[in-house]
Amino acid sequence: MNNVDIQHDISNSDKLRTVFGFIVHGLDARRRANRKPFTVMSCDNVQQNGEVTKKCILQFAKSLNN
């Protein structure tokens, strides 16, 4: 969460720079529109990358609520 671009996305939802910003704000927009969420799928062969992605997305989303 200390990354400059992530800090930017937390403060500037209208000019996103990171994939985490796009995913979290996209999911929130769908939620507010009463639409179903989309699936985020890791398509690489890095072990546990899906869990790492989940952790980062949740951490980013929680930082928006603080």
pTM of the predicted structure, to 2 decimals: 0.86
Residue 8, domain extent: 4-64
Q: How far apart are CA 7 and CA 47, in angstroms?
A: 27
Q: What is the mean pLDDT of the chain?
A: 93
Q: How far apart are CA 63 and CA 18, in angstroms?
A: 15
| pLDDT value at residue 1 | 84
Per-residue pLDDT of the chain (66 residues; tens, 9 = 90+): 899 999 999 999 999 999 999 999 999 999 999 999 999 988 888 888 989 999 999 999 999 986
| pLDDT value at residue 65 | 80
Total domains in the fold of the chain: 1
